[in-house]
Structure 1
Amino acid sequence: MTLASAALLTLPLSGAAFADAKPQPAATVKAPQPTHSNPATPTVPQDQLAKGRDDARRFALKVSVDPDRVRAGDSYDVTIVAKGLRSGTAVVTSPEGKNYRVALSDGKATKTLTVPSKAKAGSKTVTVKVGNRTATASFDVVGPRPQRDERHRGHDGK
């Protein structure tokens, strides 16, 4: 090892190296400040928030329509089952695009809707949304009941 390289190795370890060093800024550490909560806003511990989010993710949504064949002008029931969810609100969207809010009780609800009397025959779909889940159910609309016209009958009622 040469004398110059030995001097470079020992220089940082000598007192002269500390004397030439520029002072470095010291890190500032602040103590955590207490948070002031609004007494009108209840605080919920993080573990309970996480549990609520987990519960909301852990439900199965099923929707059915009864009857599955409905005459134009008649009513039908939309049955909602959110298995794993005790309460909440479901939004039912009719085939005509109207929204109805329905409260769930023990994860279940039923909403009665009516097919418009002038609805065209064919397959229709009801959509239900609960939280971030969406489910659909289809049913068939058949034409309205034939109207009986008393004016075209004979005088004897035949």
Structure 2
Amino acid sequence: MTLASAALLTLPLSGAAFADARPQPAATAKAPQPTHSNPVTPTVTQDQWVKGRDDARRFALEVSVDPDRVRAGDSYDVTIAAKGLRSGTAVVTSPEGKSYRVTLSDGEATKTLTVPSKTKPGSKTVTVKVGNKTATASFDVVAPRPQRHRDHDGK
């Protein structure tokens, strides 16, 4: 048998195999539809949401520290004023990196912090974040009060 005759024998067989391989229609699937008949009513309308979002962008954030010179080991107050914001939460971050959550009442709050007694003198910064706004206030740390040593007889 020659090469040409072998090709003629296999060609009809392979062609028959492809003759039955007609394209079949693809199956389609539908996503299940919700069956509840009572739609959920949103608690906030689109208009209220937009107004709230706009109000949150329109407030002014101010932060101050009192006193502005603090001895190592003493306390100081961080005063927060979010003008134009009635309520919310502020995050106060100390110069040492500790964060504290403070609730605003009528847009204001105060947090008392303490400078660690081993803090070296120099300028320090407190950071406050409310929503998408951040403000800072700086103050100076001064050396701690000198310790008085008592004699052995209590004087």
What TM bracket, shorter-length normalisation?
A: 0.7 to 0.9
Whichever residue aligns with residue 128 of structure 2, its letter is V
Q: Hey, what's the Cα distance between the residues in 2 that align with 1:119 and 1:63?
A: 22
Residue by residue over 1:88-135, the C-alpha shift from the partner in whole angstroms, topping out at 9 and shown as x without a partner, is: 000000000000000000000000000000001000000000000000
Residue 35 (structure 1) shift: 7.9
Gaps of 5+ in 1: 1-32
Gaps of 5+ in 2: 1-33
Moved over 3 A (4+): none
SS at match of 1:151: coil
Whether 1:107 and 2:110 are equivalent positions in the alignment is: no
Whichever residue aligns with residue 105 of structure 2, its letter is S
Q: Hey, what's the Cα distance between the residues in 1 that align with 2:66 and 2:147?
A: 24
Whether 1:58 and 2:61 are equivalent positions in the alignment is: no
Q: Hey, what's the Cα distance between the residues in 2 that align with 1:138 and 1:106?
A: 24
The sequence identity of aligned pairs, in percent, is 81
Q: Hey, what's the Cα distance between the residues in 2 that align with 1:108 and 1:78?
A: 11
Q: Hey, what's the Cα distance between the residues in 1 that align with 2:71 and 2:43?
A: 52
Residue 139 (structure 1) shift: 0.1
SS at match of 2:96: coil
Pairs aligned (count): 120
CA RMSD of aligned residues (A): 2.1
2:85 is matched with 85
SS at match of 1:150: coil
SS at match of 2:56: helix
TM-score, normalised on structure 2?
A: 0.72
